[in-house]
Amino acid sequence: MTMLRRDDNRIIIHFDYDCFYASVLEAENPALKSLPLAVQQKQIVVTCNYEARRRGLRKLQLIKEAKQICPEVVIILGEDLTKFRDVSKSLYTFLRAFLWGHRVERLGFDEVFLDVTDMIDHNMGLLNRNDLGHSFFCLDRRDPTQGFEFDATQFCGPTFPMLSTLSTFNNDLDALTLRLILGSYLADHIRTHLDRKRGYTATVGVSTSKLLAKLVGNVNKPNSQTTLTPPYVPGQGDADVSNVTRFIDDHEIGKIPGIGFKTAHKLRTYLLQRELTVQPYNERTQDEQVKVRDVRLSPGMGPPKLLDILGGPGASKDVGVRTWELLNGVDNSEVQEARAVPTQISIEDSFQGIQQFDEVKRQLHVLATSLIRRIRADLVEEDDDGVHRWLAHPRTIRLSTRQRSPMNGDGSREYSYANGRISRSAHAPSFIFSLGENPEAIAEKLVDECLVSMFRKLHPDRPFGELSLINVAVTNMVESAGDQRQSSGRDIGKMFRQQEEVLKDWRLLEETRSDTESQAQQNSASENIPLDDASWEESDEEEEALSTEACGICGGHIPAFALSAHALYHAAPD
């Protein structure tokens, strides 16, 4: 049996903004706060405010159905994600300012993880164990007067298991309990300032890992917080079962972050000993639900058994160990430090079914225009003198499509694993880095000279069926080699490190399903397709090694694989 080792030395706070899309619109127009508000993408309610939910509306509901249930609902189109993306970045920066380090990780538009361990460690050293009821939380190491008073003998806000708000502890608290108490007060402090200064409320969880913090935050919604209290290890104190196990055991397996749709489906099928209907977004009927405890306590269950159940072509070799850890509340993954440059920039849209090439080309132009705008927004910065500088150049452009599932005899469609995304990659053409042309003109050139060819290689047969999704993305970022304003030469060491990063092997991962308000889920909602299925990416290395492209600056014909490095050569100062 694999020894389970959970790192309980960290304190992680998870923020989940309440009704994020609706909250952004309410911030623009406060009159909407008292009205039932729904945000529409395609023919789906992607989110709605709590007034609308009080009247019977829910996320992922058809617009037609929403109007029947609540005729007075205010519906606002939310397919342009620009304002939501901008607010998300702004709130991320606001939350990051409270931390001493940089371990702040954004998940989608509406979730943020904060690793506040260093702040907790510092304040643990300041506590007077003989008078915990009159404690002071220091927010600035350089100024010990900056902070707030608090009572370290009790938690701030709700807990799991639920404790009385009047529950207090003596001065002989164990270290983990005391650290979590400090974390609960810091979470409340940040959450209060987010509401008062920015006008956004959030649901917050406090624990020792990303997994547990995210899950425990869901216990009290909205505009509240929950701390998972000790014991975290069985046998501590009077507990034979840890609160971690007690908490996580009652979750349906599909609700555990890191256990994707396919994994959950295989586990349900194994435990229930029958094939189940594939319904990605629908709530499971009672007889189809499988709780974590059902899997964990199943005879012979452990990493080897899970590998037998979940293994197969394309499966990770450690899928058994990783799933077993999640089922036992173990997640030692770190909160990633903030990145100045995204790992990829992706734009996609879903459709009821595209069959004509002319429509494909029109949608490619729309997506390419949005992509160019995003590239400029995320990868170009302007200095005090008004000079624009590229932070990074994407090396690869990728086109992905997905076909609709075949129609059943009764006219319905069911999701099939065979109808996943297919992708084609190529080197990003140098003209997309030209800031002198408008985005529409560059997008048109990108479609005509690159994306159309990629699409025809993806779908060589005509007709190509019905497309339910098109995605255009740039990946493989090569960051600029040093600050050009302060360096007269090139940072060769950094260029070699970037080369190693660019050439490392691709890994196929099963993505963690985030809240329905993340960008990818909005775009796929209308097709009822699970988002946690990793897509297969084809390799074009053989074609790329043989192809050349003309440099837009010097006119020389450069091998495709070296074009990005050649562009950096021109960008470097003399």
Using the structure block, give the residue that is written with the tokens 């992509």. 371
Q: Write down the pLDDT at residue 271.
A: 94
Using the structure block, give the residue that is written with the tokens 């400029």. 376
Q: Write down the pLDDT at residue 567.
A: 53
- Both tokens of 150, joined, read 């608090």
Q: What is the mean pLDDT of each run of 10 residues along the chain (574 residues)?
A: 81 97 95 95 90 93 94 93 90 94 90 97 95 96 95 95 74 89 98 97 98 97 96 76 94 93 91 74 71 96 94 82 95 86 89 89 95 92 83 95 76 58 94 93 96 94 86 92 43 49 39 36 35 30 37 48 48 46
Report helix, strand or coil for 220. coil
Q: Write down the pLDDT at residue 545.
A: 33
What CA dihedral angle connects 122, 128, 129 and 134, to 10 degrees? -110
Instruction: Report the C-alpha gap between 373 and 350 in whole angstroms.
Output: 20
Q: Does domain 12-230 have CATH number 1.10.150.670?
A: no
Q: 135-138 and 147-150: which strand pairing?
A: antiparallel
> If phi over 0 gives left and psi between -120 and 50 gives alpha, with beta otherwise, what is residue 465?
left
HEC readout, 392-421: EEEEEEEEEEEECCCECCCCCECCCCCCCC
Closest to 14 measured CA to CA, from 264, 279, 203, 156: 203
Burial class (CB in 10 A: 0-12, 13-18, 19+), 507: exposed
Residue 353 contacts residue 332 (beta carbons within 8 Å): no
Q: Write down the pLDDT at residue 523.
A: 39
> CATH top-level class for 345-504+540-571?
alpha beta
Q: How far is CA 302 from CA 219, 299, 507, 567, in A?
A: 28, 9, 25, 51
Q: Which residues of 94-105 are buried (b: 16+ CB within 10 A; e: fewer)?
A: bbbebbeeebbb
Q: Write down the pLDDT at residue 337.
A: 80
- Give the fold, CATH level 3, of 249-327: DNA polymerase; domain 1 (1.10.150)
Sequence letter at residue 105: E
Closest to 77 measured CA to CA, from 111, 112, 118, 43: 43
Q: Write down the pLDDT at residue 36.
A: 96
| Positions of CATH 1.10.150 in the chain | 249-327
**Which residues, in sequence order, are bridge partners of residue 37?**
74
Query: Is the whole model's pTM more than 0.85, yes or no?
Result: no
Instruction: Report the C-alpha gap between 302 and 493 in whole angstroms.
Output: 45
Q: How far is CA 286 from CA 215, 273, 280, 291, in A?
A: 21, 15, 16, 11
Sequence letter at residue 529: I
> If phi over 0 gives left and psi between -120 and 50 gives alpha, with beta otherwise, what is residue 534?
beta
Closest to 208 measured CA to CA, from 54, 370, 22, 332: 332
Using the structure block, give the residue that is written with the tokens 């399903």. 513
Q: Write down the pLDDT at residue 357.
A: 92
| Positions of CATH 3.30.1490.100 in the chain | 345-504+540-571
Using the structure block, give the residue that is written with the tokens 């255009």. 472
Sequence letter at residue 564: S
Query: End-to-end distance of the chain based on CA atoms, in angstroms?
Result: 61
Residue 363 contacts residue 351 (beta carbons within 8 Å): yes
Beta strands per DSSP E along 257-356: 345-354
Residue 482 contacts residue 498 (beta carbons within 8 Å): no
